[in-house]
């Protein structure tokens, strides 16, 4: 009859563990399977995966490929309402040319699409051909009695 105390594993299925560094007769004495000298033979010689002995690792030498969303971001010249409130007077027209003339758009930003963001506005201004507005900026402009003409209703222009 088969009982729990009479069960045994088939011959060859279990092995004794390798006792490393326990003398010559163990078969793993002297260098204990670590070879001769070198960083990995030392007691604290652990190295991370991909380590190349202090040289430039292979994964850093290979070219980087794949998708990068930064290539597709739309760049804007950001103009807060605070600056417009200081630079322009009541009922004045705000356009790309007037922003360049006032010194608000300089350098590369002169050619980027313009986006007006939220800030404090206390006077009515007329915005002409500005590419984009934040919802809060649009609400402030309309609350002060300003107008927005020929814009893309808050969406950036294509191109």
In angstroms, how far is the first alpha carbon of the chain from the final one?
86
Q: Are 116 and 79 spatial neighbours (Cβ–Cβ below 8 Å)?
A: yes
| pLDDT attached to residue 158 | 46
Q: Are 116 and 133 spatial neighbours (Cβ–Cβ below 8 Å)?
A: yes
Place of tokens 């009479």: 6
The pairing of strands 114-117 and 126-128 is: unpaired
CATH of 74-149, one of 3.40.50.2020, 3.100.10.10, 3.40.50.300, 3.90.1200.10: 3.100.10.10
Domain ranges of the chain: 74-149
Give the pair of three-digit tokens for residue 12.
């060859």
pTM over cut 0.75: no
pLDDT above 90 for 97: yes
| pLDDT attached to residue 153 | 54
Q: Interior CA angle at 124 toward 128 and 119, to 5°?
A: 90
Q: Are 144 and 122 spatial neighbours (Cβ–Cβ below 8 Å)?
A: yes
| pLDDT attached to residue 40 | 85
Strand partners, 126: 93, 147
pLDDT tens digits along 46-68: 888 888 888 999 999 999 888 98
Can you say how many angstroms the Cα of residue 79 is from the centroid of all Cα atoms in its chain?
A: 24
Neighbour count for residue 75 (Cβ, 10 Å): 11
DSSP tag of 12: T
């Amino acid at each position: 009859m088969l009982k729990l105390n009479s069960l045994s594993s088939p011959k060859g299925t279990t092995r004794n563990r390798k006792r490393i560094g326990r003398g010559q007769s163990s078969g793993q004495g002297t260098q204990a399977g670590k070879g001769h000298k070198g960083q990995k033979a030392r007691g604290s010689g652990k190295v991370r995966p991909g380590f190349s002995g202090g040289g430039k690792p292979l994964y850093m030498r290979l070219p980087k490929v794949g998708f990068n969303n930064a290539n597709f971001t739309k760049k804007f010249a950001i103009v807060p309402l605070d600056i417009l409130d200081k630079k322009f007077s009541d009922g004045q027209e705000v356009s790309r040319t007037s922003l360049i003339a006032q010194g608000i758009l300089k350098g590369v930003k002169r050619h980027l699409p313009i986006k007006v963001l939220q800030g404090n506005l206390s006077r009515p201004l007329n915005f002409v051909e500005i590419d984009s507005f934040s919802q809060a900026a649009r609400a402030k402009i309309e609350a002060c009695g300003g107008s927005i003409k020929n814009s893309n209703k808050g969406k950036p222009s294509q191109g």
